[in-house]
Amino acid sequence: MKNNELAKKIKELRTLKGFSQEELSEESGLSLRTIQRIENGETEPRGDSLKKLASTFNVSPDDITDWQIIEDNSIVILMSLTQFSFLAFPILGVLIPLVIWISKKDKIKNVDKIGKAIINFQISWTIAIFILPLIYVISMIFHLDLHLPIMGALLINVGLYVYNLLIITMNSIRAYKLQSVFYKPAFRILR
């Protein structure tokens, strides 16, 4: 973030609170000169200074530094709906949301958090969908007696596909309604 954008945000928050620079200095414990330098774009608050300002304004430090992130729920919905591409090929359910997440995670609110949840879930689902047939093939090659009938393995895979369809549909609707989403179970690959 450029100094002048952050300076505008600090001044905007100070004005919303009804503080003069002197009052902000007293409330935050920062010197008046520091407040002036921040608002003039000469310096950026970091560490303790940022925490003090955030506490004074009753916001998180991220709310101050990430204020230019826009709210565009259509990208979150698009990212949710692109998961349906797993129907064409399972790995597409990971790759397409991943591309959207990488390009928009720092620009649009909630894309980072929801994108990580989607990608973690889809990677976990893709691993599960490929492991079962792999176990079956290995048991056939090495003549292991796993008592895994092919119809049972097929039914489990169909169940996994249905589960993925339900999770995507439910979470896409929840994203559209601006409700919290949940993608479980999932390995936490992206944190």
Please state the rounded mean pLDDT for residues 170-190: 92
Does residue 1 surpass a pLDDT of 50?
Answer: no
Q: What angle do CA 40, 45, 51 make, to 5 degrees?
A: 135
Does residue 67 surpass a pLDDT of 60?
Answer: no
Question: What integer pLDDT is reported at residue 10 of this predicted model?
Answer: 86
Question: What integer pLDDT is reported at residue 46 of this predicted model?
Answer: 83
Please state the rounded mean pLDDT for residues 94-117: 90
At 153-173, the pLDDT tens digits run 778 889 999 999 999 999 999
Q: Where in the chain is the domain with CATH 1.10.260.40?
A: 3-65
Name the range with the highest mean pLDDT among 26-40, 67-81, 137-151: 26-40
Question: What integer pLDDT is reported at residue 66 of this predicted model?
Answer: 64
Question: What integer pLDDT is reported at residue 138 of this predicted model?
Answer: 81
Q: Are 67 and 45 in contact (CB under 8 A)?
A: no
Structure tokens at 128: 């599960």
Closest by Cα among 17, 43, 18 to 31 = 43
Secondary structure (3-state) at 122? helix
Average the pLDDT over each of 44-48, 66-70, 81-85 and give the range with the smallest value: 66-70
- Higher pLDDT among residues 136 and 57, named by residue: 57
Query: Using 50, 70 and 90 to split pLDDT, how confident is the model at 9?
Result: confident
Query: Using 50, 70 and 90 to split pLDDT, how confident is the model at 151?
Result: confident
Percentage of residues of the chain with pLDDT beyond 90: 48
Fold of 3-65: 434 Repressor (Amino-terminal Domain) (1.10.260)
Percentage of residues of the chain with pLDDT beyond 70: 93
Write down the mean pLDDT value for the chain: 87
Contacting residues for 3 by C-beta, under 8 A, at least 6 apart? 41, 42, 43, 44
3-state helix, strand and coil shares in percent for the chain, rounded to the nearest 5: 70, 0, 30
Angle in degrees, 0-180, between the axes of helices 73-81 and 150-176, rounded to the nearest 10: 170
Residue type for position 168? I
Q: Are 8 and 67 in contact (CB under 8 A)?
A: no
Contacting residues for 82 by C-beta, under 8 A, at least 6 apart? 93, 96, 97, 100
Query: Using 50, 70 and 90 to split pLDDT, how confident is the model at 61?
Result: confident
Burial class (CB in 10 A: 0-12, 13-18, 19+), 11: middle
Question: What integer pLDDT is reported at residue 41 of this predicted model?
Answer: 86
What sign has the CA pseudo-torsion 94, 98, 99, 100?
A: positive
Structure tokens at 169: 């549909």
